[in-house]
Amino acid sequence: MLKVCGGLQPPPFFHNSPQRIRHEPRDPSESQRSSDARNRLAFGSMTATTQDLTPVANTIRGLAMDAVQKANSGHPGMPMGMAEVAAVLWTEFLRWSPEEPEWAGRDRFVLSGGHGSMLLYSLLHLADYPVSLDDLKNFRQLHSKTPGHPEYGDTVGVETTTGPLGQGFANAVGMAIAAKMAVARTGTDLVGSRVFVTVGDGDLMEGISYESAAMAGHLGLDNLVCLWDDNHITIEGHTDLATSENMQMRFESQGWSVLHCDGHNAEEIRTALGKATSGSTQPTLICCKTTIGKGSPNKADSHDVHGAPLGGDEIKLTKQALGMPEEDFYVDERAREAFRAAKAQNEAERQQWHRDLQAWQSANPEPAKLWQAIQNREVPSDLLAQLTAAAGDKSAATRALSGAVIQKAAELMPSLVSGSADLDGSCKTRIKADGSFLKDNLTGRTMHYGIREHAMGAVMNGISLFGGFLPAGSTFLVFADYMRTPMRLASLMKISCAFVFTHDSLMVGEDGPTHQPVEHLATLRAIPNMHVFRPADGPETAAAWTHALTRKDGPVLLSLTRQGLPVLPHAEGFSSQDAMKGGYTLVDAADAKATIVATGAEVSLAVEAAKLLTAEGIATRVVSMPCLELFQQQEKAYTSSVLGNAAVFSLEMGRPEWWCQLTGRFDRCIGQTSFGASAPGKHLSEHFGFTPAAVMARVKAAL
């Protein structure tokens, strides 16, 4: 029996969004098709149906069992338990298209528990995406399209990389936010989307699910439906080993509507999805009561089927119990027929969507132009010059310079949305002109993530993955560890995000070692494909933001100061474009005996130390290195000319070991190897040896 919990109201699905702008149809048949498309968007189910989806569910079970068994590795229990839920969703509710996998009008499907990847791969195969039976047989093998956890960019149809539990759930919240933004900014629900995410007990135990669910409920994301695989099993055993949480009460307290259904009863699943997509004014959690490893005579409802193959004998018994042939990787023709029918209906809707979009664009050129600019993440050709002018040439903290640059960037790039983890007054990332993104102001471009750094990072990833929008989010650098996993995943997925961190050194001062980052820059640079940009003045800050707004193959991290910095002594002919190379010669010296490479606030310190050294007969050059990763991508001739032939020293107020790749010797890496202390910044710099005289002494000693 379906249980309905929480009030459900009758407004349409995008109740917070402007109604789709109608256009005059070209003929009566188009009018009917357009009306049908609108109803589909509002009310969810493609067809009223009572089709028997047992062959679909059992085909999914068989493919999952066989693939895991062949690989001798994997997690068959979740796909077997969620087979009916997935069958109903994909054949009757979800909008998808293998003909145009990135169709902007599609729904988004996120498998948060990525260990259950064979569920998604089986669905993609049945839906005629480029995932063949051979690909399923190649599960978890090198260079396959079916890796152990779904990876965005490796497999067509995978919307996000999931593996660390809870990340996919938070990504889905970000996607739902982006869909709301798109509809509100353009005035048409054609560019919106519904987001469906499956989660398991592990996803909901992770703290990130609490943070992101609270955001979703607060914002009233009624385009978000979460399907909970409620089987009460984790790898160690039943969940009562570790938790007794009432999930319904938890989600209701966070502003969600909660429904319950038998996860193996297609009619109850169908009814729950219909309610979730037709009238709720809140995000919806559907608690699908399931049996992990459903169909297995000896391992169902046991943690034994969670993360290990069933074994050949048990697979044979399971297929007998399900009434399936013993054939490996068997696909029931009735399952293919169900997906062919769903594909045909989705294809008709996709084509109608394009006709509706074209008509809307013709009738509404300015909103259409805005949507295209967002979709393409358009920026002007002179972006760097305009941002450099916005930064100005005054001495200031780089967080303040960044704040000025953001205002100009938001004016030039409609895709940019920004926010902070309750620290805008310190981090300066608010977009002032367009207000806050709130439940009753979905056109706002400033996100308020609350004190939820972990969710902020993963929600940003979801916003980026939705398409078009480029998210920026900020907090103090010392709190980067709270969002390390989403930053790592952004780098792995090669998606565009701007992670902005301020208060980036011991010079936080009186707040003390709990707030003074020491190891953070080194560990963040260790993330493959993460570009860490630590600017030292206005032009470098403009360069950092230009790179963040235009990079297409990964995220950019901006590390910014709390304290004010002096204007650097750039040589005549300097351009911000020099900083875009990651490093450049700031102060040259003939017959140099030393070169100091510095970043951020320490660049001006290096300049002063170089003056002292030169005065003592040790000619010293200074190189500003705002982004080591970009510098290392330059041609060898350029990097050699910048570093020169003299002994190379590094200077950065953090762990120094990373810089040995440039200096060749640890004693030439001037940094901070211990935690800081609570005191005014001036006293800290003297105590820890970050003064011109102290740096000079270190260089002389090493030489």
Distance of alpha carbon 485 from the chain centroid:
10
Cα angle vertex 113, ends 135, 346, to 5°? 60
Write the single-letter amino acid at 435. Answer: G
The helix/strand/coil state of 257 is: strand
Helices (H), 435-481: 453-466
Is residue 504 within 8 Å of 602, Cβ to Cβ? Answer: no
Using CB atoms within 10 Å of the CB of residue 32, give its burial: 0 to 12 exposed, 13 to 18 middle, 19+ buried. Answer: exposed
What gap in Å lies between CA 219 and CA 454, rounded to an integer?
18
Using CB atoms within 10 Å of the CB of residue 333, give its burial: 0 to 12 exposed, 13 to 18 middle, 19+ buried. Answer: exposed
Cα angle vertex 396, ends 390, 401, to 5°? 35
To the query of whether residue 211 is one of the catalytic residues in this protein, the response is no
The active-site residue out of 84, 206, 211, 453 is 453
Closest Cα partner for 540 from 609, 479, 601, 470? 601
What gap in Å lies between CA 22 and CA 65, rounded to an integer?
48
What gap in Å lies between CA 408 and CA 393, rounded to an integer?
16
Q: Which two tokens stand for residue 587?
A: 């102060």
What gap in Å lies between CA 515 and CA 383, rounded to an integer?
34
Is residue 587 within 8 Å of 553, Cβ to Cβ? Answer: no
What gap in Å lies between CA 335 and CA 221, rounded to an integer?
33
How many helices and strands in the chain, by DSSP H and E?
28, 19
Is residue 118 within 8 Å of 305, Cβ to Cβ? Answer: no
Q: Which residues contact residue 230 at a Cβ distance below 8 angstroms, ignoring those fewer than 6 apart?
A: 201, 247, 263, 287, 288, 289, 290
Q: How do beta strands 584-587 and 620-624 pair?
A: antiparallel
What gap in Å lies between CA 319 and CA 48, rounded to an integer?
30
The single residue listed with the structure tokens 């980026």 is 464
Q: Which residues contact residue 57 at a Cβ distance below 8 angstroms, ignoring those fewer than 6 apart?
A: 83, 84, 86, 87
What gap in Å lies between CA 702 and CA 651, rounded to an integer?
13
Is residue 115 within 8 Å of 78, Cβ to Cβ? Answer: yes
Closest Cα partner for 524 from 494, 561, 492, 480? 480
Q: Which residues contact residue 336 at a Cβ distance below 8 angstroms, ignoring those fewer than 6 apart?
A: 126
Q: Which two tokens stand for residue 510?
A: 């009186």
Q: Which residues are tagged catalytic?
A: 453
